[in-house]
Structure 1
């Protein structure tokens, strides 16, 4: 996704650059005419804009006289914006209303197919009782177990219903959970694919012992269920498969002349069965499978009635040397990195993903000991959330560095790029403020918007600084050059901001299906453009003068040091060949 989006933006900007340098001038020469008389609308707009220019010139003159006040106010706004970021939630991406979602359900192990079918039909009736549901596919046994099922639900288009997808998912979660002995998880369709569960929280918990791992994971699951904001809490460890554990009394077996291999072989043959021979008939070969009759191997107590022959030829019942304990074991023993592992799943309701991951990490640290063999690792969307934020942070730093290098090479200065790039902190005021005001979160699309702002907001400062340098090169005094460059560059700066904001408004409204995911990007760009445009018009000229004063002070300081340095007179040494010639003359 990042590669495709980056290439799209780069190619579009390159094409627009070529058009602006070739096609646009040609069309202007053909169609643009200098009008002597204008209509009422143009006159009214022009008068309004002239008034804005005069007001901006007065404000700029005031800012240049009160430089400390302007810089201090900008710094205070930046610090406040960083404080606002603490109240903004962080997540992988905003859940989108795509008119489809998934319902996973599970019944207790051992239920008959007829009973599972009856529960599935009951869940189906609840599902179709909502008019927003257009269709659904319900099936069981897709994941290697008959007691597990899934429902693929499709809704009517977003424009034809009053209930959002998330609201319907929350309602169905409550209604389906009311069915006795039914475990339900309602999830959105994964946008990254992979065939895995699309839960907000996913942790892989490793441990050396399955029993200890099961006890600790169950305790963690119970604590998460009691914590507000967590729903559909579940693990992939199911200790519901009936099993019989056989404990052999080695001392008694040795006294009776039995060894462990004989006992286990007898149990394996009668309970599990083995192939003992081949039978041929009519050119076909059949395996002869030896096993006890069904009536003699259905119950754990049937193990006590098995007799084996000891080393001295006596027949001994296994009830004399074994103890059978009935219990429940795991259906599947999962492993990760060659360690026994349990995967924890959970969805969120009204809780940001970043805050939830921090809380789960704290509960894991309290539940699992910090000892060898125990380990917790993010998986699924949780892992992608962490990785994406790291990658986007690196991309943001690289974009700032590259833009600084380009500006330094173009302006042939290391100071002016700093002046221009101070527009970036000013943009964060609007970014965090508008995200908090609209209830959006910091996610991968918000970070993409911030990276886009790095290139957009610096363009306005480039217009101001470059034109100011041109006027000063023509002999104009610094303050006069700034007061002349600002109003002249005001119109293209405002036009750039207005067109950018206007283009992002439809995306920010999220009117289409799935638009909720892209809305934070547009909100980020709109907020950054609003504050950076107006603050840049005042702060950047002030900072320009401060850096210019600093540069002049450094030049004067260095010049004084050069003047104070004592002159060193070096006496020219005679050349070697001159000495040689004089000696030869003598």
Structure 2
């Protein structure tokens, strides 16, 4: 709820939903369940005391294999408590060391199978619609015969969704939107189709073509996004070209581009203020003369009955077609003398700017690229950083910074780390108040830390990257669930000790008696997440079970901390 930025807006519904569900379940547990128990539950009669002794709590414990096995392991652990404690600490350290060496990297947001892709076709500035249309037709021919493609539509000259576009007419930018068939009708993995299309459009000469998968999550920028900062826009363009040349050979890096727009060539008149002043002229006089010669000025109006026509005075067409024609101009000064324009100004042909971007008042050119698989985005970014640190030399006064998804990921990691620490602190504060003790809350909080073992082992065994968003949110949720098991156990231990039991006997009895509710809590949580974990969901609209799909791919990582077999849920026992 306090998550800042676009990611916070995207994920805000999750904590709100959980809070509402927990409050509803609390109401049901405190009000509805007691009523239902009074209506339907039958209370067994308490057996009378035998030889003056009341029945033991262990008398209600089933005498089956599972309970006997747990009882034996519990008694062994209590008898060799220091050995078990040291073993757990060693396992904790070893797990983190193994994960540091054998992890599958970091993933910011889960990658989902695309429902559609966009083929962006960009030609040089100044390209007309006919040339753009030919390039789009060539790109469309690479889509023919693809089994996974349902349909596509092309918009020629309508822009291609470039976030750096300066707007206005864009005849050189086009987009093809490609729709994939429904999941059950696809013959192959759409990722393979995307790779085939990328290979197909590489042979189209003169066009810069990007094949982009639809983004199912919040907008976070490209996985590789490098901002070049400096004063001279032309120098930034050259640096951007150098950066592209150094990283274009890195495997799995695709859609490499920059937003530098050189613009068309234009004629520029550079006025010499000192020479103009000496000749009795100013910049406005020179500009007016050039404007009148090329564009003309309205001298009068010609009226033909009800119609009016402007009379524009300017040079003949054959006298204003070249830069030499401009250099032949004369400017009238305040003394009515004609001064050659070449004596007071320099006329040259220069490359203009298509657009200039500023970020926080800094002039910026951005180089961006995608990766073929989001699971390797972090590793590829580090590889790019390593290459640029070793090979790129920036001029004085110029700098580069890594933004886009990398910045969002760093911000999300910082926030989730603070959120987890805040959650643990609030849980510890409530526990200290409840138990009026510091040691017992410390024991409960240890179960939260130990729950990380199960999460890390699942990630290693499944070769799954650590999801900054989904796995991080799952860990915070897990912290609130795991403490419930420990609270149930320790609270009952305190009750038994208050009746006069010794510590070892109270712990053994509490473990055996509370084994069933703790197991039921763990099992029900696991079963509720099984559809997400195993990859199937219920299509309520069409009343059918769907295997896989976007929803499962996006939310599957959230269930990682509670996957079946994970010791994280049973650490309290």
Matched, 1:348 2:371: yes
Supply the distance in 2 between the matched residues of 1:525 and 1:278 (Cα, whole angstroms).
Answer: 83
Q: What's 2:531 paired with?
A: 506
Q: What's 1:478 paired with?
A: 503
Greater C-alpha radius of gyration: 1
Within 5 Å, which residues of 2 pair with 1:172-571?
Answer: 172-191=197-216, 199-246=222-269, 262-275=285-298, 288-308=311-331, 325-350=348-373, 352-360=376-384, 367=392, 369=394, 374=399, 376=401, 378-379=403-404, 381-438=405-462, 439-510=464-535, 511-526=548-563, 530-537=566-573
Deviations 1:147-184 (A, max 9, x none): 01112221111222133333322222221222111212
Q: Determine if contact 2:122/2:208 at 8 Å carries over to the other structure.
A: yes
Supply the distance in 1 between the matched residues of 2:69 and 2:289 (Cα, whole angstroms).
Answer: 100
Bigger CA drift: 305-314 or 164-173? 305-314
Shift of 1:253: 8.1
Name which of 13, 20, 44 aligns with 2:22: 13
SS of residue in 2 equivalent to 1:494: helix
Name which of 13, 34, 54 aligns with 1:4: 13
Q: Determine if contact 2:129/2:156 at 8 Å carries over to the other structure.
A: no
Q: Determine if contact 1:140/1:148 at 8 Å carries over to the other structure.
A: yes
Bigger CA drift: 503-512 or 314-323? 314-323
Residues 457 and 207 of structure 1: CA distance in aligned 2, closer, same or farther (over 3 Å): same
TM-score (norm. length: structure 1): 0.79
Could you tell me which runs of 5 or more consecutive residues in structure 2 were left unpaired when the two chains were aligned: 1-9, 45-59, 160-167, 536-547
Deviations 1:477-514 (A, max 9, x none): 11111111112222222222222122212112341234
Shift of 1:323: 6.1
Residues 288 and 373 of structure 1: CA distance in aligned 2, closer, same or farther (over 3 Å): farther
Q: What's 2:190 paired with?
A: 165
Residues 464 and 296 of structure 1: CA distance in aligned 2, closer, same or farther (over 3 Å): farther
Q: What's 1:149 paired with?
A: 174
Q: Determine if contact 2:119/2:176 at 8 Å carries over to the other structure.
A: yes
Supply the distance in 2 between the matched residues of 1:359 and 1:134 (Cα, whole angstroms).
Answer: 37
Supply the distance in 1 between the matched residues of 2:296 and 2:355 (Cα, whole angstroms).
Answer: 22
SS of residue in 1 equivalent to 2:368: strand
Residues 49 and 389 of structure 1: CA distance in aligned 2, closer, same or farther (over 3 Å): farther
Name which of 150, 160, 163 aligns with 1:134: 150
Name which of 113, 124, 131 aligns with 1:97: 113
Supply the distance in 2 between the matched residues of 1:297 and 1:517 (Cα, whole angstroms).
Answer: 62
Supply the distance in 2 between the matched residues of 1:53 and 1:292 (Cα, whole angstroms).
Answer: 104
Supply the distance in 2 between the matched residues of 1:392 and 1:415 (Cα, whole angstroms).
Answer: 27
Count of aligned positions: 523
Residues 536 and 192 of structure 1: CA distance in aligned 2, closer, same or farther (over 3 Å): closer
Q: Determine if contact 1:497/1:530 at 8 Å carries over to the other structure.
A: no
Shift of 1:142: 2.7
Shift of 1:106: 0.3
Residues 468 and 281 of structure 1: CA distance in aligned 2, closer, same or farther (over 3 Å): farther
Q: In angstroms, what is the RMSD of aligned CA positions?
A: 3.5
Supply the distance in 2 between the matched residues of 1:100 and 1:49 (Cα, whole angstroms).
Answer: 58
Q: Determine if contact 2:112/2:216 at 8 Å carries over to the other structure.
A: no
Supply the distance in 2 between the matched residues of 1:393 and 1:279 (Cα, whole angstroms).
Answer: 76
Could you tell me which runs of 5 or more consecutive residues in structure 1 were left unpaired when the two chains were aligned: 36-45, 538-586
Q: Determine if contact 1:276/1:288 at 8 Å carries over to the other structure.
A: yes
TM-score (norm. length: structure 2): 0.81
Q: What's 2:165 paired with?
A: none
Residues 285 and 60 of structure 1: CA distance in aligned 2, closer, same or farther (over 3 Å): farther
